[in-house]
Chains A and B, each alone.
Chain A
Amino acid sequence: MQAQLAYRLFDDADGIYNYCPSPVLMDETTMYIFYCANAWPSLVIDDIYARRGKLENGRWTFGDRFRVLQPDRLGWDCIHVCDPDVIKGKFRYRGETYSWMMVYLGCDIHHCYHNQVGIAFAKEIDGPYIKYDRNPIVRYDELFHWGAGQASVVSLDGKGKFRMLYSQTVHEYERRLQGCRTFWRDFDLSDAERPIVGEEVAMHVGGMDNRDGEGEVAAFNPTIVWDRNNDLYYLTREGTPFDKTRSPDFIAPYTQVSVISRSDFEKNEGGWQTVYNVDGKDTGYERNHNAGLVKDAYGWLARQGVLPVATTISELTDRDFLWTYRIYYQELALPTL
Chain B
Amino acid sequence: MSRIYVLQSPRMAVAAARMKADVNFLGAVDDQTANWLSDNHVFLRDSWAQGGVTVKRLQRLYHRLFPGDLLIVDGSLPDELMMKAALYARELGARVVIGLKGAGISSESNDAKDVGDLADILVHAPNAMWNGDPRAIVSLEAADNLEAWVGAMSLCLMNGLGLEQSWSFCKRAAASEELPWYDEVAYG
Contacts and interface: CB of A to CB of B under 8 A. Distances in A.
Contacts of B186: 39-40, 43, 45
Interface residues of A, number: 17
A73 B187 contact: no
Interface string B15-39: 0001010100000000000000001
A45 B165 CA distance: 16
A306 interface: no
B127 interface: no
A111 B159 CA distance: 11
B169 interface: yes
Interface string A58-81: 000000000100110110001100
Contacts of B155: 43, 45
Contacts of B181: 73
Choose among A40, A71, A109, A111 the residue with the greatest number of B CB atoms under 10 Å from its CB: A40
A43 B40 contact: no
Contact of B22 (A42, A70, A111): A111
Contacts of A108: 41
Given A43-B169, A111-B1, A70 B18 contact: no
A247 to B, nearest CB: 15
A74 B39 contact: yes
B40 A74 contact: yes
B187 A70 contact: yes
B5 interface: no
Interface in A38-52: 39-40, 42-45
B67 to A, nearest CB: 15
Nearest to A79: B20
Contacts, number: 43
A110 interface: yes
A173 B22 CA distance: 26
A4 B169 CA distance: 42
Contact of B169 (A40, A70, A79): A40
Contacts of B165: 42
A45 B187 contact: no
B183 A70 contact: yes
A291 to B, nearest CB: 25
B20 A78 contact: yes
Contact of B159 (A42, A74, A78): A42
B183 A43 contact: no
A44 B40 CA distance: 20
B183 A42 contact: no
A73 B155 CA distance: 15
A110 B1 contact: yes
B41 A71 contact: no
A42 B187 CA distance: 14
Choose among B20, B159, B186, B187 the residue with the greatest number of A CB atoms under 10 Å from its CB: B20
Contacts of A110: 1, 22, 158
A71 B169 CA distance: 18
Interface in A108-124: 108-111
Interface in A230-289: none
Interface string A176-188: 0000000000000
B159 A109 contact: no
Given A43-B155, A43-B156, A44-B159, A74 B41 contact: yes
Interface string B151-176: 00001101111000100010000000
B182 interface: yes
A79 B186 CA distance: 13
A74 B155 CA distance: 16
A221 B181 CA distance: 31
Contacts of A71: 20, 182
A41 B179 CA distance: 22
A80 to B, nearest CB: 9
Interface string A84-106: 00000000000000000000000
A71 B161 CA distance: 22
B9 to A, nearest CB: 20
Nearest to A40: B186
Contacts of B158: 110
Given A43-B155, A44-B1, A79-B20, A73 B183 contact: yes
Interface string A290-321: 00000000000000000000000000000000
24 contacts: A39-B186, A39-B187, A40-B185, A40-B186, A42-B159, A42-B160, A42-B161, A42-B165, A43-B155, A43-B156, A43-B159, A43-B161, A44-B159, A45-B20, A45-B155, A67-B187, A71-B182, A74-B40, A78-B20, A78-B41, A79-B20, A108-B41, A109-B22, A111-B22
**Minimum-distance CB pairs A-B, first 3:** A110-B22, A39-B186, A40-B186
Given A45-B155, A111-B1, 13 more contacts: A42-B161, A42-B165, A43-B169, A44-B1, A44-B159, A45-B182, A45-B186, A71-B182, A73-B181, A73-B182, A108-B41, A110-B22, A110-B158
